[in-house]
Amino acid sequence: MSTSTTAFRAARTTGRLDVLVSGVREAVGRGLPPDLTAYLVGERLAPHLGAADLLTAEQRAGDPEHYRQHLLHAEHDGSFSVIAVVWLPGQRTPVHDHVSWCVSGVHEGAEHERRYRLIPAASGSPARLVATEDLVNEQGTVAAFAPPGDIHRVWNTGTERAISLHVYGADISRLGTSVRRVYDLPADR
């Protein structure tokens, strides 16, 4: 997946971001299954979405070529990372899934999302994707995913910038991406 950030470095933090990270740390530290962890992390993320003091001006900056990721925090033990994704109008991801559980929350603007289900190859038919849901995630919307079954595409069809926060159950600063696989398969709409 092409982004303007390939080598992540932790960004300057804000007091509100420190509170968010502390809440995520507590939720992840419970050692629950991925789906329950994602749910708890979503509860910690939601109250911070839309807050003017969450991100610095640098962390809100986009890239005219493609969506931009800002690493906000990578936990020292590799158990989670927090990323801000900035989408300028028209920017999108490919269809993809993730390396770990993921929670995303829309901080500013709106994101369009199409979710898919993978239909495996069978009886001479090739594998394909079936669209299962189209969503418009407005500011304040939180979504949680845990593999398998976390295949989607996200884009900004609006005329303004959109920003979302993503919390992953992996060290994205070390991995360089949250994407496990990009799908280039036929897809039903």
Q: Domain with 72 in it: what CATH number?
A: 2.60.120.10
Q: Establish if 10 belongs to a structural domain.
A: no
Lowest mean pLDDT among 33-47, 73-87, 134-148: 134-148
Assigned domain for 118 exists: yes
Give the 3-state secondary structure of 51-103. Answer: CCCCCCCHHHCCCCCCCEEEEEEECCCCCCEEEEEEECCCCECCCEEECCCEE
Does 119 score more than 90 pLDDT?
Answer: no
Position 154 scores a pLDDT of 92
Kindly report the pTM of this predicted structure. 0.87
Residue 8 lies in a domain: no
Nearest alpha-carbon partner for 187 in 144, 152, 155: 152
Confidence of residue 3 (pLDDT cuts 50, 70, 90): very low
DSSP-assigned letter for residue 79? S
Averaged pLDDT of the chain? 88
Structural contact between residues 157 and 25, judged by C-beta atoms closer than 8 angstroms: no
Which of 6-15, 49-58, 162-171 comes out lowest in average pLDDT?
6-15
- pLDDT score recorded for residue 46: 98
* Phi, psi for 65 (deg, rounded to 5): -85, -40
Would 47 be classed as within a structural domain?
Answer: yes
pLDDT exceeds cutoff 70 at 7:
no
**Structural domain includes residue 56:** yes
| In-domain check, residue 1 | no
Number of domains in the chain: 1
The pLDDT score that the predictor gives to residue 182 is 80
Instruction: Write out the residue range of the structural domain in which residue 83 sits.
Output: 15-188
